[in-house]
């Protein structure tokens, strides 16, 4: 790791793909096109003809009516002629692949029905080489996306899979995921202008702003350093690692379980405890803030928001390190266990484990009442979970493994993430199918034998290169 010369990321927006800056929510329709390369030269020529949308074209009041984003798996870079030596400096997790190693799958909770051997895509001959994300205003979408897909196939690429998201609202209103919750409420705020004082691990206070290097390769991260990147013919600067997982959601199963556990009138209340947010996206009452202006400091017992709720695991804010800013002496005292309780152990500040989420839902949307109605058959629905980060190990894999999947989190045991967990027992940690919460009278409760509500159907790690990086890949 090294420090980079000071340069505001804003000055490089022309070289950054748009998804880093914006979820492109005003473009209501999206297609995730997963391709395998048949002939490298023809694929390169086709890719050179695509103009990916840049960060400079979106955000800050600017908008486009169509956007193309292009990313590559390691297998894709190899198919385009890169040798192992060219890829040196890229993240080892990217080089191994999401399903590349059984231990990784266990750590990520990809077990049971979610194990890679059952995936519809993501490994062996179904491992994609290229991910093209096509987003457009819904009125323009289909003929345009079909045309680009046809060009890809005419250039010798084969289709591993292609998924359309369900059409979103184009009026800027909040998106919903298939369980019915407002999605995309909490996001880190990239410090494009380099205004944040980057203080590394000395100041562990939680804040929404993050250094550009938490998302962009080649920029200073929250520690004030730049991570590794290749130094040869492949340029990764201004790129980002893109995690893509197809997460199928059992919507009727989720709402029926909540209704059976809490009674139909309290089902929404219990579901909100599981997520850790109200259905409409606001913070749970009692956290002392709305939207994103809250910490878990005021709720150490998990009375307002269960300790194991999805959002509390996915981003414990100050909760995993309540001592916040401290000096060397207090650090030593804490690390010797002389201050705080086991539940307060400093894993690390949440600031070093942020994810920029860019996914979209797919399938048929049901309201909670429809999902609970007797006779409602199951529907196919889920999330094309996409997130961006500059360190797969410290960001996505840490959040997914240590916080969502682990059965011991924040002083809890025997439970995994109540929304996304697989519920299979771990060899060392035992059962994972409990969920502790406080009922409305403030009494502690333990829900037993939670079913799995989410199943992984496919996934892969990609490099979303910068614009110059893309040229270095397609040049040949």
| Binding footprint of ligand HEM on the chain (CB under 6 A) | 177, 179, 181-186, 247, 249, 275, 277, 281, 310-311, 314-315, 355, 383, 385, 396, 399-400, 404, 419-420, 454
Please state whether 424 falls in left (phi above 0), alpha (psi between -120 and 50) or beta: beta
Q: In the complex, what is the shortest distance from the CB of residue 337 to ligand HEM, in angstroms, rounded to a whole number?
A: 28
CA-nearest of 298, 318, 439, 456 to 383 is 456
Nearest partner of 294 among 186, 210, 438, judged by Cα: 186
Closest by Cα among 268, 297, 266, 272 to 285: 272
Comparison of 43 and 404: residue with beta carbon closer to ligand HEM: 404
Instruction: Give the contacts of 476 (CB within 8 A, at least 6 positions apart).
Output: 40, 41, 44, 80, 81
Q: Min. distance of Cβ 341 from ligand HEM in angstroms?
A: 23
* Cβ 394 to ligand HEM shortest distance, Å: 13
Q: How far is the CB of 367 from ligand HEM (least distance, A)?
A: 15
Residue-level length of the chain = 476
Q: What minimum distance in Å lies between the beta carbon of 417 and ligand HEM?
A: 8
CB of 315 to ligand HEM, least distance (A): 3
Residue 185 or 347: which CB sits closer to ligand HEM? 185
What are the start-end ranges of the H helices in 2-122? Answer: 40-48, 74-79, 84-87, 92-96, 102-107
Q: Which is nearer to ligand HEM, 310 or 360 (CB)?
A: 310
Q: Which is nearer to ligand HEM, 35 or 355 (CB)?
A: 355
> Is the Cβ of residue 404 or residue 450 nearer to ligand HEM in the bound state?
404
Contact 283, 290 (CB under 8 A): yes
Q: For residue 438, which of 273, 300, 278 has the smallest C-alpha distance? A: 273
Minimum Å gap between C-beta 338 and ligand HEM is: 31
From residue 101, give the alpha-carbon distance in Å to each of 106, 244, 343, 421, 422: 9, 17, 31, 20, 19
Nearest approach in angstroms of CB 233 to ligand HEM is: 32
Closest CA to 71 of 473, 472, 462, 476: 462
Give the integer Cα–Cα distance in Å for 312 and 302.
10
* Distance separating the N- and C-terminal Cα atoms of the chain: 29
Residue nearer to ligand HEM on the CB measure, 149 or 177: 177
Question: Closer CB to ligand HEM, residue 64 or residue 98?
Answer: 98
- Pick between residue 177 and residue 191 the one whose CB is nearest to ligand HEM: 177
């Amino acid at each position: 790791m090294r420090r980079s010369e000071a340069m505001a990321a804003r000055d490089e927006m022309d070289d950054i793909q748009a998804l880093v800056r914006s979820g492109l929510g005003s473009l209501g329709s999206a297609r995730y096109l997963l391709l395998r390369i048949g002939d490298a030269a023809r694929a390169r020529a086709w890719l050179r003809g695509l103009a990916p949308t840049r960060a400079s074209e979106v955000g800050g009041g600017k908008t486009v009516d169509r956007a193309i984003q292009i990313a590559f798996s390691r297998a894709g870079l190899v198919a385009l002629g890169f040798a192992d030596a060219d890829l040196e400096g890229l993240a080892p997790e990217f080089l191994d692949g999401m399903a590349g190693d059984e231990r990784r799958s266990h750590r990520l909770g990809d077990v049971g029905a979610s194990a890679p051997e059952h995936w519809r895509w993501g490994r062996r001959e179904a491992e994609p080489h290229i991910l093209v994300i096509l987003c457009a205003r819904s009125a323009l979408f289909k003929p345009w996306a079909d045309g680009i897909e046809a060009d890809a196939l005419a250039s010798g690429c084969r289709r591993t899979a292609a998924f359309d998201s369900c059409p979103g609202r184009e009026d800027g209103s909040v998106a919903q995921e298939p369980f019915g919750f407002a999605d995309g409420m909490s996001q880190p705020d990239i410090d494009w202008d380099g205004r944040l004082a980057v203080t590394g691990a000395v100041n562990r206070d939680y804040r929404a702003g993050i250094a550009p290097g938490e998302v962009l390769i080649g920029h200073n991260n929250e520690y004030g350093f730049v991570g590794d990147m290749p130094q040869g013919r492949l340029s990764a600067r201004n790129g980002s690692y893109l995690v893509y997982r197809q997460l199928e959601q059992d919507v009727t199963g989720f709402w029926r379980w909540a209704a059976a556990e809490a009674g139909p009138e309290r089902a929404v209340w219990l579901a909100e405890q599981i997520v850790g947010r109200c259905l409409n996206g606001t913070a749970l009452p009692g956290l002392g803030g709305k939207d994103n202006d809250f910490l878990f400091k005021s709720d150490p017992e998990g009375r307002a928001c269960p300790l194991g709720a999805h959002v509390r695991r996915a981003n414990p804010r100050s909760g995993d390190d309540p001592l916040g800013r401290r000096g060397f002496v207090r650090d030593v005292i804490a690390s010797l266990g002389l201050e705080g309780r086991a539940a307060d152990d400093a894993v690390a500040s949440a600031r070093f484990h942020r994810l920029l989420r860019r996914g979209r839902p797919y399938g048929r949307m049901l309201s909670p009442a429809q999902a609970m109605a007797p006779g409602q058959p199951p529907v196919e629905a889920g999330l094309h979970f996409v997130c961006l980060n500059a360190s797969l190990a410290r960001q996505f894999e840490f959040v997914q493994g240590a916080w969502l999947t682990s059965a011991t989190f924040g002083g809890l045991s025997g439970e995994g993430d109540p929304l996304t967990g697989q519920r299979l027992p771990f060899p060392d940690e035992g059962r994972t199918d409990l969920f502790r919460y406080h009922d409305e009278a403030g009494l502690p409760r333990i829900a037993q034998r939670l079913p799995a509500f989410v199943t992984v159907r496919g996934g892969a790690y990609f490099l979303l290169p910068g614009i110059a990086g893309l040229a270095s890949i397609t040049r040949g």
